[in-house]
Amino acid sequence: MQTHLESATVFKGFSPDIQNDLIDSVGIVVLVQIKAELQKCMYVSVLLDETSDVSCYSQLSTVIRYVNSNGAVCESFIRFSDVSKDRSAAAVSGLVVKELQEFDCLNKLIAQTYDGAAVMSGELNGVQAKVKEHAPDAIFIHCYAHRLNLVLSQAASSNAKCNVFFSTLGGLSTFFPTSSKRMSLLDDIVQGFQNLLQLGGAILLD
């Protein structure tokens, strides 16, 4: 993309639509390369996590982990999927199975990693149980990053000062947006700090 924008003389492609088309084309090429690597490996694992973006859409990220032909462990991000309409175990597991089938690696799946939410980790009706119906060897592992997050959250909440600090910090996200005056004041304060930082940088350079 950078080479095209720097070297193109006739077709610059600066419009948003054209740039998005180019990005989509690059994404397709990358996915084809990932699929080719997955064809050569013996085993794969899948990592999923769901979060809501600023526009309140629930996005599910899919990552496939595998060992390539050179013996190196690779983690390849596949895509974000909008699961706002249905975040049930059946819907999410169906999406996982469909994506693994798309890359012809469902029969190679030996591990699946999610957070500890019941809809994901449930032994009877969770995503991991439903995925096992299609890939019996896919053992479930509770994501270590989420485990660490839980440990740190519990440790911080047991300290009174930390508890007050994080509660106050979390309250800022609801305190300012509910009032246009507060938001305006916050913007002014932030702008003032930015001006001070720029002034301080200029003084140091002098």
The pTM score is 0.67
Residue 145 predicted with pLDDT over 80: yes
User: Has residue 205 got a pLDDT over 60?
Assistant: no
**Mean pLDDT lowest among 10-19, 40-49, 144-153, 186-195:** 10-19
Under 8 Å between Cβ of 44 and 74: no
Burial of 24 (0-12, 13-18, 19+ CB in 10 A): exposed
How far is it, in rounded angstroms, from Cα 150 to Cα 171? 20
Q: Answer yes or no: are the C-beta atoms of 123 and 152 closer than 8 Å.
A: no
CB 159 within 8 A of CB 133: no
Q: What is the pLDDT of residue 166?
A: 82
Per DSSP, 72 falls in state -
The whole-chain average pLDDT of the chain stands at 84
pLDDT band at residue 13, thresholds of 50, 70 and 90? Answer: low
**Whole-number pLDDT of residue 194:** 84
Tens-digit pLDDT profile for residues 70-107: 888 889 999 888 888 888 888 888 888 998 898 888 89
